[in-house]
Homo-oligomer: A and B are copies of this chain.
Amino acid sequence: MSNAISEEMTGSTQEIKNGWKPEIATAPLYMQVAHHLEARISNGDFAVGSLLPTENELAEALGVSRQTVRQAIGLLRNKGRLSARKGVGTRVEAIEATSGSTRFIAHSRSELFEIAAETEFVIGFREMVSAQGKLAVDLGCRPGRKFLHITGVRYPANRGKAFSWNEVYIDSRVAAAVKDITVARRAIFHYIEEFTGEKIHEIQQDVRPIAMDEDIAEKVGGKGGDLALIVNRRYYGSGRRLLEYAFQILPADRFTYTTTLRAET
């Protein structure tokens, strides 16, 4: 079973293994390994459909324990990039099998990053609002609290057909994080994390179908009454403090939500 890693390893030194230096980053080791593996899948080192080197081989090649490799593989399995079978090995899976549908729901925080990175949020409107009535209920806060309200359209990175209509409410205490942004190329909560240094610990998502009204339909290139999915997201910082609330309306004809469940045993 000759593979890229072992071939590269043949002449490699101890300090740098497969061009990967574990000591530079601050993220947990297993996450670094996951990113490393993912990068090598993306650049073709590990072909889609093929088997990864065994866990023991990877552990030795990368200079980490098998446990750490397993944790990394676990992350990528959750994302659907890898699948494992006892007695066989770990297979590289295709990212998106179904045709014509775009991935829009994340299964992990990091996936939310990736989706945002592939799209651009063009901000069209912003104002400070005071949460009252339904909004206060949606935000789960007491009435009167101030939020920065931003609306706009999210486009694919190549600026094709509109991706979604977005509305975002940001806690006024952290709203400065996006004050100069007119086109967001990363997730909004990423700007907030960068600005405050505080990490978003938890994101709650819910999805419901709706029929688009004329206004929104026009902005995303549909017509009134067309089917769509509305995705609500609540972003919580430490101590379950709500920092951001956002919803997104996605035309139904362009999106399918796909998951794969695997046997736990």
List A residues at the B interface (Cβ < 8 Å): 27-28, 31, 75, 83, 85, 98, 101, 105-110, 112, 199-211, 227-229, 252, 255-265
Tell me which of B75, B108, B202, B210 contacts A227 (CB under 8 A): B210
Closest to A229 in B: B209
The CA of A201 and the CA of B77, in the complex, are separated in Å by 13
The reply to whether A261 and B109 contact each other, CB–CB distance below 8 Å, is yes
Contact of A108 among B108, B209, B264 (CB under 8 A): B264
Say whether A259 contacts B109, CB under 8 Å. Answer: no
Interface contact A259-B202, CB-CB below 8 Å:
no
A101 to B110, CA, bound (A): 27
A75 to B78, CA, bound (A): 12
Distance, CA A209 to CA B227, complexed state (A)? 7
A257 surroundings in chain B (CB, below 8 A) = 206-208, 257
Q: What is the oligomeric copy number?
A: 2
What residues of chain B lie closer than 8 Å to A83, measured between beta carbons?
202
Q: Which residue of B lies closest to A97 (CB)?
A: B204
Report the separation of the CA atoms of residues A179 and B33 in the bound assembly, to the nearest whole angstrom.
Answer: 48
Say whether A204 contacts B260, CB under 8 Å: yes
- Residue ID in chain B nearest A258 by CB atoms: B206
A28, B228: Cα distance in complex, Å? 42
* B112 touching A261, Cβ below 8 Å: yes
Q: Do A202 and B262 touch (CB < 8 A)? A: yes
Residues of B within 8 A of A31 (CB): 264-265
Nearest CB of B to A214, in Å: 17
Residues of B within 8 A of A229 (CB): 209
A and B contact pairs by CB, cutoff 8 A, 30 listed: A27-B265, A31-B265, A75-B264, A83-B202, A101-B206, A106-B261, A107-B259, A108-B264, A109-B262, A109-B263, A109-B264, A199-B265, A200-B263, A201-B262, A202-B260, A202-B261, A202-B262, A202-B263, A203-B262, A204-B260, A205-B258, A205-B261, A206-B258, A206-B259, A207-B207, A207-B256, A208-B252, A208-B256, A209-B210, A210-B227
